[in-house]
Structure 1
């Protein structure tokens, strides 16, 4: 690296990197930092090259981890970034691209080094790498006495959060925002390499309880705003130095972002317009929202302000003056824009998870969704997920189905889906249907999911949720297409056949058990119609429940009933007893405790 352009093959012998990872301490005010951060690095453009980058820098990172304990150069690098980050807000307003470029380069190096530390060191050693300084005595924890409570790692995390909140997203800061998010994700990924709950890691406690937690509401708002706006990656980041003058000014941003940070979505080939305009900032913002909302959720003594903010934000377009019933830190955002963005991005499982969290826990957003007249905008993408279940992962299918189940609990939703008429559904291949209601299509897709589950997955929870969704909406079925009615009848017939087979299996099992085991003399006789009894079971069991299963026994004019109570199976033989010429039939019940 340095002022000249570097390639992956040259990194292991790169002089500035060798000095950074060497045994010589570098003062934060040394001109070396300007030289190091003025590099133009042709970073990888696909996942294979990303692995090559890690292999090429493995020796340097290992040497850095060893020598940094004495030199403190990592701390000096972070201090250099912190100084520039503090001044970045004014820099962004002045569009000082060179200053932004060098700040990005510093953060890029920090993130690459942190990734190695997280993967190879324990958290205790990781924090030591942040806090150690040259020529300063350290205690057994690796920190100087003045840093026992405010470590450099927490300062870095706080600075990154403030950068994402305060620095506007413009063309020259787009890559810096993405790199800041990726650095935070790398630091929180420590849980992937050490088997213990997130709450026990200091980096998670810094996020939940540290100085940055006071920005929880505005931070979540900024991340949601990034997701809503779906801002495309600036086109100049894809152009070569011959094509763009801006590329020559921000060479590191242009070359360093696309592959390493997009995990291989980039390529050296000429990209289509859709590929060039990938909204990577929106995607990374959404991923970080989910990381913050789904860690440290139920731990006693640890409050998650980000999760609370996500579940309590309100509609900025709502003019009502309703006051909250309790004091909750929250923010406002445009529900209409959020709803539109979610509907357009439901093909991704991370967006589906966000929708599930909002429908399940944010009462304001749930009420807004249920009040929409354009319900098809949300329901159709969900149905498409279920329709293509064989091509989706099980988590995506579950989330989509549970969202439908939650929505089906609302009476207005169950009615409104039958009032929306669809003309064509291009992805529905079973049969060409020119006109069908949204409710009818919903029934068809859920029935198809049930049948697919019965033949392939055999997941009882998926089966139960599908049937529950149909049961919730069944009272409001109307204007059904003939094909929909046919599929309902077909499903009923299929379920009846399966039920009959199960009954037959129970009958055969009961008969075999009776023939194999001797009759127990301690039985009770019950009057007709009695459904329970108290008996002197050898194990002290009481209050057995009789559950008729409509099974015919092997003996003529007899029926066998089966029941389960306290882990024991009870077979009951019912025999008719006709007395005299009266048409009245009396029954006696022999209960055998097996």
Structure 2
């Protein structure tokens, strides 16, 4: 490499690279470094290109490993990069593309070498590679500055402080990718790492919680939307790995990790709410698309999507914001043409579809619980629900009602029929099914009641759908499990039914909607019984890192976002070759 355009095939022939990996020490002040990092090279964006690059780097890195104890050139390269990061934010403000370009190239070289180092040596040996300086072979200064920790701190500072612009995209991509590489020792261990030189630096990654990726310029973000995906993916990966590896670093590790996770969740939610209003692309849509294609996704993807939704719906600001964001022509939603719909209504449609899929296919109580909890959290903030979303809420209740009647009939028949030796388990199975269905029905009634009690006048379409199918609710009026919650629904149905009767017969749809809107403003709120606010929270497991860290690394491994790992030797994901 040097002051020209470089390709993978040029690496072994580059005189600058040969000098870097050679036995002779190079002072940080020599002009050589400007020549070395003045090259044009397109960083890999897929695993295939990353594999070719790594195969070319491996023999060069092995030579450097042999010579670095004498030359200390790797540490010198790191210090050259660090010296340029000190003025990187100013360079960004001044649009100094040359300075940013050279800083990026220096970091790119560091990252490529680190990637090979980590496969060739343990953490202690890697730390020595940072410590070697020009001196007698095999010696190092034990009291020198911790260059590894300084590198990690600078990378985090760079990500936090430097805005995402067109001229900074590449260096930000390299920064987060380098952090992933440094954390990748985890891939080669079956157990979750809680100690080690690399992981002792991870406390600084808590600063990333305030980031997901920021920009001070909306127009720039619009232009960078598609390019931001790899950077955002890598930042979130580093954030998740850092947060869930946090325990064990502090005297009171549990409280520290909980604080970090809670702060991260709050800031992430705030960022998402802000992004909903001003961002160029809604960050919640990919989550909804995962749930919409539930039959094509593995359970881990679906569970993670639901966990994220549940955490987001714990925040009332989020629940209000999603009804203010209007979307047009959602291409992946194919059940019905939706020319325009609010994000809130779309979220309701997707969650209800997930519930219905689960009822007919997987019958996973976990999915039901989390889907209903998310709907319940949002219910008090339902606003101007789309006609189709309102219909689907009532349609889901109709499906549950039908299923309830079927199971009840089967249970009744099993009581009447003779019990043989093989029939003793039939009744308990029906009883359990009936209990589960009644719990779900109760939850749906509470969701509908919460909407009517808190935002009745904002949801004429839900009132219309409720009145159109009011006969569905009659059978539950006297049911002991639903009597209390049915009082409010009876009040609403009775009030509006009377208004519609007074308006005359053969009413048009428009006339019915007019009556409903006027009635919603006239219904006294004191006539509705107050119930406790529906609030559900995601309950974290005792050691969530045992699930999340392998899961996040599996996403990184399979993403192909600028990185490649040979599956041989990877133990965390069960890929170690015999």
TM-score, with structure 1 as normaliser: 0.57
1:460 maps to 2:387: no
Moved more, 163-172 or 184-193: 163-172
Name the CA shift for 1:169/1:306 in 2 (closer, same or farther; >3 Å).
farther
Cα deviations by residue, 1:189-211 (Å, 9 ceiling, x for unpaired): 22122334332122221231xxx
Helix, strand or coil: the match of 1:457? Answer: coil
Structure 2 counterparts to residues 155-304 of structure 1, below 5 A: 155-208=150-203, 212=204, 216-217=206-207, 220-226=209-215, 231-232=220-221, 278=228, 280-297=230-247, 301=251
| 270, 274, 283: which one aligns with 1:345 | 283
Structure 1 pair 35–407 and aligned structure 2 pair: CA distance change class (3 A): closer
CA radius of gyration, larger in: 1
Which secondary structure does the structure 1 equivalent of 2:22 belong to?
coil
The answer for unaligned runs of 5 or more in structure 1 is: 236-273, 316-329, 350-381, 516-547, 553-594
Question: What's the offset of the Cα at 1:306?
Answer: 9.0
- Contact 1:114 / 1:186 at 8 angstroms: preserved in 2? yes
- Work out whether residues 70 and 138 of structure 2, in 8 Å CA contact, stay in contact via their aligned partners in 1: no
**Cα distance change on mapping 1:285 and 1:435 into 2, 3 Å:** closer
CA separation of 1:454 and 1:28: change in aligned 2, threshold 3 A: same
1:186-242 per-residue CA deviation (whole Å, 9 max, x = no partner) reads 21222122334332122221231xxx57xx55x54354534995945989xxxxxxx
User: Does the C-alpha gap of structure 1 residues 339 and 42 become closer, same or farther in structure 2, counting only changes over 3 Å?
Assistant: closer
The size of the alignment, in residue pairs, is: 424
CA contact (8 A) 1:296 1:302 kept: no
Structure 1 position 401 matched with structure 2 position 306: yes
In the alignment, the residues of structure 1 paired with residue 230 and residue 171 of structure 2 have an alpha-carbon distance, to the nearest angstrom, of: 12
CA drift at 1:112: 0.7
Structure 2 residue 438 is the aligned partner of structure 1 residue 488 = no
Q: Give the corresponding residue for 1:98.
A: 98
- Give the SS at the match of 2:214: helix
Judged with a 3 Å threshold, the aligned counterparts in structure 2 of structure 1 residues 32 and 400 are, in CA distance, closer, same or farther, namely closer
* Whole-angstrom CA distance in 2 between matches of 1:474 and 1:171: 41
User: Is residue 386–residue 449 contact of structure 1 (8 Å, CA) maintained in 2?
Assistant: yes
Residue 107 of structure 2 contacts residue 175 of structure 2 at CA under 8 Å; is this kept in 1?
yes
SS of residue paired to 1:68: helix
Higher strand proportion, which one? 1
Superposition RMSD in Å: 5.1
User: Which residue pairs with 1:311 in the alignment?
Assistant: 262
**2-side partners of 1:96 and 1:424: how far apart?**
41
Residues 453, 459 of structure 1: 8 Å contact kept: yes
Contact 1:292/1:306 (<8 A) preserved: no
Change (3 A) 1:224 1:92: closer
Larger RCO: 1 or 2 (CA < 8 Å, sep 6+): 2
1:153 CA displacement: 0.4
**What is the CA-CA distance between 1:108 and the residue it aligns to?**
0.9
In 1, distance between residues paired with 2:322 and 2:95? 50
Uncovered stretches (5+) of structure 2, i.e. residues with no partner:
432-578
Aligned residue number for residue 520 of structure 2: none
> What are the superposed Cα offsets for residues 422-468 of structure 1, whole Å, 9 maximum, x if unpaired?
99987655567999999987776545423422443343322343456
TM-score by length of 2: 0.58
1:226–1:282 CA contact under 8 A, matched in 2: no
The CA deviation at 1:407 is: 7.5
Deviations 1:133-160 (A, max 9, x none): 2315767xxx52313xx42101211222
Maintained 8 Å contact 1:422/1:438? yes
- Determine which of 126, 145, 164 is the counterpart of 2:142: 145
Q: 1:443 to 1:279 in 2, by over 3 A?
A: closer
Return the offset for 1:11. 1.5
Shift of 1:488: 2.5
CA gap of 1:301–1:342, structure 2 versus 1, over 3 A, is farther
Q: Distance in 2 between matches of 1:155 and 1:438?
A: 43
For 1:51 and 1:194, the matched residues in 2 are separated by 22
